Amino acid sequence: MHMTQRDGALDLLKWLALLSMVLDHLRYVGFSIDLLYVPGRLAFPWFCLAMAANLTRAHAITTDGQWRYLGWLLLFSALSEIPYRMYIPDHDTLNVLPTLVLGLLVARGWQQSGLQSRLLAAGALLLAALFAERLMFGFFGVLLPLAMLLVIRRPWYLSLLPGLVCLAANQWQVLYYAARLGNRTAIFGIAACLIAPLLGLLLLRFAQGIRPLPMRRWAYTLYPAHFLVLLTLRPLIA
């Protein structure tokens, strides 16, 4: 969304989320580094937290900036699907942006009392329930932006709520079973899901003095572009 005053902590959160996502996707380049799964669990909740932070800014409710936000997400959801399918082997879900689109509609429906917003939120929830298996992070992934919105200005210990939603979105049954067998990646992955919201909230509250490169609309291109870059690197590493 357009911001009249840049929030350096929010920009930093977005950059760290992007870095976490790239680290996670490096597992598909050719490196056999399962532990990269752990920092990868931070990416989605931090993007959801950034979305919630945008929605809490006063002008996001009173201007059409949120509609532009939704439009950009929809556009790059479509543009990203081809490079995503080219890069991720044996994909069984869409790329992550459709999940964020539905999550945005649900969070806005909670935030705004208008009939249109409530109907769009209800429709998003219905789609998430019907097509959970086709959405990255499933039904609970769609609920995560709302969970972040509910706690973003609350005491820090309430971050356990989105932490549990994040864990549910990351196939907690598989992680829990692997953790019981002593798999370190699963154990650290569960911990990352639970503490990711807290880490993000602390960053937003205590990193206000940092001024990284602002993430403006051009940053949407980084999502499909990083798939193409990693796809180029794959034959050089294999």
> pLDDT tens track of the chain, all 238 residues?
344 467 899 999 999 999 999 999 998 887 778 899 999 999 999 999 999 999 987 555 555 667 888 999 999 999 999 999 999 888 899 999 999 999 999 999 999 888 999 999 999 999 999 999 999 999 999 999 999 999 999 999 999 999 999 999 998 888 999 999 999 999 999 999 999 999 999 999 999 888 999 998 999 999 999 999 999 988 887 6
d(CA 118, CA 206): 34
Asked if residue 3 is part of any domain, the answer here is: no
Contact 144, 169 (CB under 8 A): yes
pLDDT value of position 64: 65
Listed in order, strand segments (DSSP E) in 104-185 are: none
On whether residue 84 sits in a domain, the answer given is yes
Would you state the structure tokens that stand for residue 47, as one six-digit string?
């993007």
Q: Are the CB atoms for 162 and 180 separated by under 8 Å?
A: no
Give the predicted TM-score (pTM) of the model.
0.93
Dist CA 148 CA 162 (whole Å): 6
Asked whether residue 61 is assigned to any structural domain, the reply reads yes
- Tally of structural domains, the chain: 1
User: What is the Cα 188 distance to its own chain's centre?
Assistant: 19
Instruction: Return the pLDDT at 58.
Output: 56
Question: What is the 8-class DSSP label of residue 212?
Answer: -
2 domain residue, yes or no: no
In a domain, 143, yes or no: yes
Burial of residue 67 (CB within 10 Å: 0-12, 13-18, 19+) is exposed
Residue 1 lies in a domain: no
- Domain for residue 116, yes or no? yes
Residue 92's SS3 state is: coil
Q: Is there a domain that residue 88 lies in?
A: yes
Number of Cβ atoms within 10 Å of the Cβ of 155: 8
Sequence-separated (6 or more) residues with CB below 8 Å from residue 17:
42, 43, 44, 46, 47, 50
At residue 1, the pLDDT reads 38
Residue 160 Cα distances to 44, 154, 157, angstroms: 16, 12, 6
123: exposed, middle or buried (C-beta count within 10 Å: 0-12, 13-18, 19+)?
middle
- Domain residue limits at 205: 8-237
Amino acid 44: pLDDT? 98
